[in-house]
């Protein structure tokens, strides 16, 4: 619905009062410009990050009648949800995170025979993969790794404790760790929807040692003696454990601080948002022609005198109505092409004195093109912080924006895939634990093949072979 317009007195020009046609909401809000700015443009994005590293604060939660301590994630324990909101509100950061997740996924987690180095097809392994949807688990891992720099997987053992039969990914944003013990490790992880003040569906999982999860599991299940005591226990009754995969960051925080958080602490995230918001309101408020109206100071009295209006209150109402008539004449579509006849006088010097003069402001100017270069600069800065070349996600399209050739894009993608190797090594830890614990490590190996782009003349055939497992093999 079109916003109503009104005349706003902006100054004088000799005997004339100068008015500009503006949206009524702007006219009514002039006395509260500061509050209007905050409402439309919002505050800075760095709020909520000040206490991201504080692991000395400990809170408690009651689960099954027992009190558990945990370290809140951020000052208000809402930091991961805050990050989700900020990423989702910006199309550049959203697309960069999707691109990072897809590139990290590669060709997915795959199992190979150690002897032949071909895709493993053993029934026991195929059954395990199908029942655990490992490709989905791995994709969820890749997403959490790019958002929060860590993932948590739950491993479940059979009733007799001899085999790992299930792997389930836990959303990192719902995970909270216990305070570190004397060894510098968290002993358990609590999984709950922390958006709620008192989450009722909270779960607690014992957390395996981050450095040596396999050895810790072997000791807990009584397969190996405890290195500290040299004694072997009968084994715990627990059958569900958590394994955390963490990207190393400076300071070794309980909750890693991803490097891309700098976009929220820096100014570029806010700059991009402010430019987009400003352009939107500029276009909305200037899409229709703007007018400057000069009205002689005697015009209002002449209108009332010609109609014989002498009562002061009625004169005010008539002047208000006349102002509305001028506004509608300038803004109503049905008045397009019509003329408005007003009187004028000629003074002794021969100069004309018109009662009403209307000028079109910026009629030949296309609004909304301001700050285009600044927006491109802000998009490039965001892509740089996210580790994505802007041309890989189309953040700066067009030939004039240093758009690379196909060969350059191919090399950029191959480079991006190559630097995912450390991420894969960390993400594969729970699967190596599963392979060793189940006794499959001597027969099978785990890999995450890269997607490598080449030219058509080097690979004239591209064959996708389905072997009944989770995905096919790409054969060069």
* Segment 179-214, tens digit of pLDDT: 998 888 899 999 999 988 788 889 999 999 999 999
Helix, strand, coil percent values for the chain (each to nearest 5)? 40, 20, 40
Question: Residue 35: pLDDT above 80?
Answer: no
Q: Tell me the C-alpha distance between 23 and 327, whole Å.
A: 11
Question: Residue 400: pLDDT above 70?
Answer: no
Neighbours of 238 (CB within 10 A): 12
Q: Rounded mean pLDDT of 275-296? A: 70
Which of the pair, 94 or 18, is modelled with greater confidence?
Answer: 94
Q: Tell me the C-alpha distance between 442 and 435, whole Å.
A: 9
Question: Residue 113: pLDDT above 80?
Answer: yes
Dihedral through CA 405, CA 406, CA 407, CA 409, nearest 10?
Answer: 90
The alpha-helical segments, DSSP class H, found in 89-162 are: 91-105, 123-132, 134-148
Distances (CA, A) of 387 to 7, 77, 268, 390, 413: 50, 27, 15, 9, 12
Quote the longest CA-to-CA distance of the chain. 117
pLDDT-wise least confident of 134-143, 188-197, 207-216, 408-417: 408-417
pLDDT band of 36, cuts 50, 70, 90? very low
Q: Please list the residues that pair with 20 across neighbouring strands.
A: 8, 292
Which H or E run includes 376? helix 372-386
Q: Tell me the C-alpha distance between 318 and 307, whole Å.
A: 10
* Residue 293: closest CA among 30, 25, 11, 31: 11
Q: Tell me the C-alpha distance between 403 and 393, whole Å.
A: 11
pLDDT-wise least confident of 24-38, 69-83, 280-294: 24-38
Q: Tell me the C-alpha distance between 91 and 102, whole Å.
A: 17
Neighbours of 372 (CB within 10 A): 11
Q: Tell me the C-alpha distance between 336 and 340, whole Å.
A: 11
At residue 244, the pLDDT reads 96
How much of the chain, in percent, has pLDDT values that exceed 90?
A: 32
Phi, psi of 293, deg, nearest 5? -120, 125
Close Cβ partners of 446 (under 8 Å, ≥ 6 residues apart) = 109, 110, 111, 112, 428, 431, 432, 435
Do residues 452 and 417 make contact, with C-beta atoms less than 8 angstroms apart? Answer: yes
Question: Residue 434: pLDDT above 90?
Answer: yes
| pLDDT (tens digit per residue) in 82-92 | 999 999 988 99
> 4-23: string of b/e by CB count within 10 Å (b at 16+)?
ebbbbeeeeeeebbbbbbbb
Close Cβ partners of 222 (under 8 Å, ≥ 6 residues apart) = 232, 233, 234, 235, 236
At residue 204, the pLDDT reads 95
At residue 240, the pLDDT reads 95
At residue 23, the pLDDT reads 63
Question: Residue 128: pLDDT above 60?
Answer: yes
At residue 33, the pLDDT reads 39
At 76, list the tokens.
């208000």
Do residues 149 and 258 make contact, with C-beta atoms less than 8 angstroms apart? Answer: yes
Question: Residue 236: pLDDT above 80?
Answer: yes
| pLDDT (tens digit per residue) in 340-395 | 656 555 555 556 667 777 766 655 555 555 677 888 888 888 999 888 888 787 76
Do residues 274 and 334 make contact, with C-beta atoms less than 8 angstroms apart? Answer: no
Do residues 87 and 147 make contact, with C-beta atoms less than 8 angstroms apart? Answer: yes
Which of the pair, 144 or 473, is modelled with greater confidence?
Answer: 144
At residue 326, the pLDDT reads 80
pLDDT-wise least confident of 69-78, 164-173, 250-259, 323-332: 323-332
pLDDT band of 330, cuts 50, 70, 90? confident
Collapsing DSSP to helix, strand or coil, 124 comes out as: helix
At residue 247, the pLDDT reads 93
Q: Tell me the C-alpha distance between 226 and 23, whole Å.
A: 76
Which of the pair, 104 or 404, is modelled with greater confidence?
Answer: 104
């Amino acid at each position: 619905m079109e916003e109503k317009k009104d005349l706003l007195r902006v100054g004088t020009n000799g005997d004339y009062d100068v008015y500009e046609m503006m949206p009524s909401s702007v006219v009514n809000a002039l006395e509260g410009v500061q509050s209007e700015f905050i409402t439309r443009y919002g505050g800075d994005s760095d709020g909520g990050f000040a206490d991201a590293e504080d692991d000395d604060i400990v809170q408690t939660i009651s689960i099954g009648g027992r009190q558990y301590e945990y370290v809140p994630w951020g000052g208000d324990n809402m930091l991961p949800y805050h990050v989700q909101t900020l990423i989702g509100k910006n199309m550049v950061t959203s697309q960069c995170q999707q691109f990072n997740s897809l590139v990290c996924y590669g060709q997915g987690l795959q199992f190979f025979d150690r002897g032949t180095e071909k895709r493993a097809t053993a029934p026991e392994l195929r059954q395990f993969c199908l029942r655990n949807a490992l490709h989905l688990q791995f994709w969820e891992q890749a997403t959490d790794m790019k958002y929060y720099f860590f993932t948590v997987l739950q491993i479940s053992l059979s009733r007799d404790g001899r085999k790992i039969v299930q792997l389930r990914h836990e959303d990192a944003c719902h995970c909270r760790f216990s305070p570190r013990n004397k060894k510098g490790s968290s002993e358990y992880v609590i999984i709950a929807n922390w958006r709620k003040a008192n989450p009722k569906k909270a779960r607690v999982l014992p957390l395996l040692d981050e450095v040596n999860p396999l050895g810790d599991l072997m000791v807990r299940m009584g397969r190996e003696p405890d290195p500290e005591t040299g004694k072997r226990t009968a084994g715990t009754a627990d059958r569900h454990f958590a394994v955390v995969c963490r990207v190393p960051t400076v300071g070794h925080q309980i909750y890693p601080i991803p490097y891309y958080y700098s976009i929220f602490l820096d100014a570029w995230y806010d700059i991009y948002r402010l430019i987009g918001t400003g352009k939107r309101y500029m276009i909305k408020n200037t899409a229709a022609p703007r007018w400057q109206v000069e009205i002689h100071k005697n015009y209002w009295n002449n209108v009332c005198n010609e109609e014989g209006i002498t009562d002061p209150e009625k004169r005010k109402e008539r002047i208000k109505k006349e102002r509305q008539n001028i506004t509608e004449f300038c803004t109503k579509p049905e008045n397009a092409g019509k003329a408005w006849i007003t009187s004028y006088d000629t003074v002794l010097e021969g100069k004309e004195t018109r009662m009403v003069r209307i000028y079109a402001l910026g009629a030949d100017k296309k609004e909304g093109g301001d700050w285009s270069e600044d927006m491109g600069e802000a998009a490039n800065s965001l892509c740089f912080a996210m580790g994505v070349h802007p041309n890989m996600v189309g953040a700066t399209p067009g030939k004039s924006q240093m758009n690379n050739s196909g060969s350059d894009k191919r090399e950029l993608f191959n480079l991006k895939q190559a630097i995912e190797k450390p991420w894969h090594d960390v993400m594969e830890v729970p699967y190596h634990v599963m392979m060793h614990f189940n006794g499959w490590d001597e027969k099978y190996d785990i890999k995450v093949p890269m997607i490598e782009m080449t030219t058509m003349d080097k690979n004239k055939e591209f064959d996708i072979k389905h072997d009944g497992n989770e995905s096919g093999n790409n054969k060069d």
